[in-house]
């Protein structure tokens, strides 16, 4: 009797175990396949729901942007760097890899190669000069990494080597500088101009020179008597202006500086020479940093042609659009103004962001 009871107990336990195991198995099958369908062969295929959740996971990963910056030669450039850092570093959708080339193209090429090796999603490049980019940009293209040019342009035969350019019309800036200078002085007044060029080979220098000459060449009273690079820096601008004053002193009526920093250096040189900048020698420069607004308010400079360095938001938008597979514009332009005289500078100064 005892052995019958044991056999009965064993059978009940075994049956319960079988029931529990099969119930577990049914649950597992439902949780894996509840959103999926089967194909003609009865094999389970994804209906996309699982992929969407994987995609969501992927899209929560930040967009990695490698930014190769030229350096910190001017107040304008520092403002540009700050704008990009402020925008991308404070947005969890981005991860920024920043590299400062200290004015050297070879450092920029190295930085680009490092971004390619790290498989960043997007490369942003502020190119120090226009030429010499083909090889490295081909490498980026082969790695399927879109390149966005910031503020300066490049010259390449194959235009598909970059996706877009975000920045200003430098030729127009040069033309505006010349037009405003002629308006200020008068088109019938004989005027000798000295020009402080930006970095040799930079699109910002080449185009600003071209635009200015376009207008000046139309007026026989206006002559560019000297033109030399001041490398976009305050110290070189001062040095070159000192040399101009030494050779041409009293003959100089106006300075055209490709950026504010060189104009500020020139102002110092003119004062040390014993003349009054803004009065004896009129000054027009490009950028629009706060220091030049103060100089114009003080009567030491005359015309500011604005060039906007706050490109962070436009870069962020372009990067997001590209990652979403949207087409972006070939040239994403920036909005800019011109300020002439102390009154205009005074009104604008409180709102200046750089």
* Positions that interact with ligand AHR (CB under 6 A): 73-74, 76-77, 151-152, 204, 232, 259, 286-287, 307
149/68 Cα distance (integer angstroms): 10
Shortest reach from residue 73's CB to ligand AHR, in Å: 5
Shortest reach from residue 127's CB to ligand AHR, in Å: 9
Shortest reach from residue 199's CB to ligand AHR, in Å: 7
- Provide the pairing of β-strand 254-257 with 44-45: unpaired
- Residue 204 or 224: the one with the smaller Cβ distance to ligand AHR is 204
| Closest CA relative to residue 259, chosen from 83, 64, 16, 76 | 76
- Residue 81 or 87: the one with the smaller Cβ distance to ligand AHR is 81
The three-state (H, E, C) secondary structure of 142-188, written as one string: HCCCCEEEECCCCCCCCHHHCCEEEECCHHHHHHHHHHHHHHHHCCC
Shortest reach from residue 247's CB to ligand AHR, in Å: 26
| Residues β-bridged to residue 304 | 285, 339
Shortest reach from residue 243's CB to ligand AHR, in Å: 21
- Residue 151 or 253: the one with the smaller Cβ distance to ligand AHR is 151
- Residue 63 or 129: the one with the smaller Cβ distance to ligand AHR is 129
40/113 Cα distance (integer angstroms): 48
- Residue 252 or 263: the one with the smaller Cβ distance to ligand AHR is 263
154/129 Cα distance (integer angstroms): 7
- Asked if 149 and 164 touch (Cβ cutoff 8 Å), the reply is yes
Shortest reach from residue 190's CB to ligand AHR, in Å: 29
| Closest CA relative to residue 284, chosen from 237, 215, 229, 339 | 339
- Residue 121 or 151: the one with the smaller Cβ distance to ligand AHR is 151
- Residue 63 or 305: the one with the smaller Cβ distance to ligand AHR is 305
The three-state (H, E, C) secondary structure of 228-264, written as one string: EECCCCHHHHHHHHHHHHHHHHHHCCEEEECCHHHHH
- Residue 140 or 307: the one with the smaller Cβ distance to ligand AHR is 307
Cα dihedral 241, 243, 244, 246 in deg (nearest 10): 120
Shortest reach from residue 90's CB to ligand AHR, in Å: 24
- Residue 202 or 254: the one with the smaller Cβ distance to ligand AHR is 202
| Closest CA relative to residue 304, chosen from 173, 131, 141 | 173
| Closest CA relative to residue 302, chosen from 265, 339, 346, 266 | 339
Per-residue CA distances from 336 to 24, 83, 304, 305 (Å): 68, 16, 11, 8
Shortest reach from residue 43's CB to ligand AHR, in Å: 59
Shortest reach from residue 208's CB to ligand AHR, in Å: 8
């Amino acid at each position: 009797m005892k052995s019958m009871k044991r056999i009965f107990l064993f059978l009940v336990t075994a049956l319960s175990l079988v029931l529990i195991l099969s119930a577990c198995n049914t649950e597992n099958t439902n949780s894996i396949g509840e959103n999926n369908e089967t194909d003609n062969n009865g094999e389970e295929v994804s209906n996309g729901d699982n992929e969407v959740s994987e995609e969501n996971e992927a899209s929560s990963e930040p967009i990695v942007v490698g930014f190769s910056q030229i350096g910190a030669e001017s107040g304008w450039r520092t403002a540009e760097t700050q704008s990009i850092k402020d925008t991308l570093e404070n947005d969890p959708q981005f991860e920024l890899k920043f590299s400062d080339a200290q004015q050297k193209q070879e450092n920029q090429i190295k930085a680009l190669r490092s971004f390619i090796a790290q498989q960043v999603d997007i490369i942003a490049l502020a190119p120090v000069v226009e030429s010499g980019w083909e090889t490295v940009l081909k490498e980026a293209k082969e790695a399927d990494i879109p390149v966005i040019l910031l503020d300066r342009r490049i010259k390449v035969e194959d235009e598909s080597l970059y996706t877009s350019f975000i920045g200003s019309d430098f030729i127009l800036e040069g033309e505006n500088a010349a037009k405003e200078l002629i308006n200020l002085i008068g088109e019938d007044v004989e005027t000798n101009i000295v020009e402080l060029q930006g970095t040799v080979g930079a699109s910002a220098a080449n185009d600003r020179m071209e635009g200015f000459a376009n207008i000046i060449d139309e007026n026989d009273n206006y002559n560019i008597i000297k033109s030399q690079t001041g490398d976009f820096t305050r110290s070189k601008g001062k040095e070159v202006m000192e040399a101009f004053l030494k050779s041409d002193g009293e003959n100089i009526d106006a300075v055209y500086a490709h950026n504010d920093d060189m104009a500020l250096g020139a102002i110092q040189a003119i004062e040390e020479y014993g003349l009054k900048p803004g009065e004896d020698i009129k000054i027009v420069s490009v950028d629009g940093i706060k220091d030049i607004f103060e100089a114009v308010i003080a009567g030491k400079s005359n015309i500011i042609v604005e060039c906007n360095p706050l490109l962070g938001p436009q870069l962020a938008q372009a990067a997001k659009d590209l990652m979403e597979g949207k087409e972006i514009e070939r040239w994403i332009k920036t909005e800019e103004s011109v300020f002439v005289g102390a009154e205009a500078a005074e009104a604008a100064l409180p709102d200046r962001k750089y």
